[in-house]
Amino acid sequence: MRPVPDLHFSPLAPDEAPPAHLDHVRRDGGDGRHRVAPVAGEGGRLLRGLLALAVLIFMGKAGLWLADPATLPVREVAIEAPLRQLTEAELQETLEGVVSGGFLRVDVDEIQRRLLANPWVARVTVQRAWPLKLLVTVVEQEAYARWGAEALLNPQGEIFRPRPATFPAGLPVLSGPEGTEDEVLRRYRLLRDELKQIDQRVAALDWDRRGGWSFRVVAGPRVVLGRQAFEERLRRLFVGYRARLAGEWGRIEVVDLRYGNGLAVQSRGGVTETEAPPAG
């Protein structure tokens, strides 16, 4: 064991009081030695209070410094998006006045809200990237079909409403009562795939308020299927097309399949040929 070094104090006589400036010295056991008692009075509490106050002042000034837009300003906004309908200039214009407050204080939620207000924007993520850069990733809506005259459907059956002047050309036109987008889209996909058998494409599909289905083919007639037996009546169309309608297809205005075993054909000249009574 290492010896503890001696502590040397000047001893006082047994009946001699310590000086006033040593009133914190405690006499121990009458052995002539004195030990210093710890100071735990007003001075210690004052020191701790001053330290706490200094920390608070520092934190307050640091907060004000970071809140100053001139502190760590955003130097670059990088937009990542495979743009088809939107333009980079349009997105930059949307962000003007929003990218402020400094790198650490910029309002990321507000940037997302501004961009999502554009109907062509489906999703947005905003990330801070050091040094002093914002990385904005934009995912555009995909126009899968028109919904009526003033809206579009994406592949998930969700409606979005950009300006009609921005609608892509050549989209099929789907329509139906409110809330039927998913079912109309499902029937469209079925119809699109089935019409490949006769090398035809869907231009429009409608589900009316009475539950009746009809569609129009590209550069061809309107086909009325009615409320019942959608797929069975579609197969009957294919049989009639192969048997006799293919040669007259360009002159036909309407093919009506609301019949038990046949169909009615209305030519562009107004002549109607009926092969069976209507079934509804």
Q: Are 234 and 225 in contact (CB under 8 A)?
A: yes
**Residue 159 three-state SS:** strand
Q: Same domain for 198 and 243?
A: yes
Question: Max CA-CA distance within the chain?
Answer: 140
**Virtual torsion, Cα 252, 257, 259, 264, nearest 10 deg:** 0
SS3 content of the chain, % helix, strand, coil (to 5): 30, 25, 45
> Looking at the domain assignment, is residue 280 inside a domain?
no
pLDDT reported for residue 104: 61
pLDDT reported for residue 277: 44
**Residue 166 three-state SS:** helix
Q: Same domain for 100 and 171?
A: no
Q: Which two tokens stand for residue 76?
A: 């670059």
Nearest-angstrom CA–CA distance, 28 and 248: 125
Which residue range forms the structural domain that includes residue 80? 76-140
Q: Same domain for 152 and 108?
A: no
> Looking at the domain assignment, is residue 267 inside a domain?
yes
Q: Residue 145 — φ and ψ, nearest 5°?
A: -160, 160
Q: Same domain for 149 and 135?
A: no
Which single residue is written with the structure tokens 């309107």?
Answer: 222
Domain count, the chain: 2
Nearest-angstrom CA–CA distance, 280 and 278: 6
pTM over 0.85: no
> Looking at the domain assignment, is residue 266 inside a domain?
yes
Q: Are 257 and 224 in contact (CB under 8 A)?
A: yes
> Looking at the domain assignment, is residue 21 inside a domain?
no
pLDDT reported for residue 27: 47
Q: Same domain for 150 and 133?
A: no
End-to-end CA distance of the chain: 110
For residue 63, give the amino acid letter: G
Which single residue is written with the structure tokens 């309002």?
Answer: 107
Tens place of pLDDT per residue across the chain (280 aa): 333 333 333 334 444 444 544 444 444 555 555 554 554 567 777 777 767 766 666 565 545 444 555 455 656 667 787 888 998 888 888 888 777 666 566 788 888 999 999 999 999 988 877 766 778 889 999 999 999 999 999 999 999 999 999 999 999 999 999 999 999 999 999 999 999 999 999 999 999 999 999 999 999 999 999 999 999 999 999 999 999 999 999 999 999 999 888 899 999 877 666 555 444 4
Q: Residue 278 — φ and ψ, nearest 5°?
A: -65, 145
Q: Same domain for 208 and 98?
A: no
Q: Same domain for 186 and 270?
A: yes
> Looking at the domain assignment, is residue 268 inside a domain?
yes
Q: Same domain for 151 and 175?
A: yes
Count of other CB atoms within 10 angstroms of residue 159:
14
> Looking at the domain assignment, is residue 39 inside a domain?
no
The per-residue DSSP string of 227-250 comes to SS-HHHHHHHHHHHIIIIIGGGGG
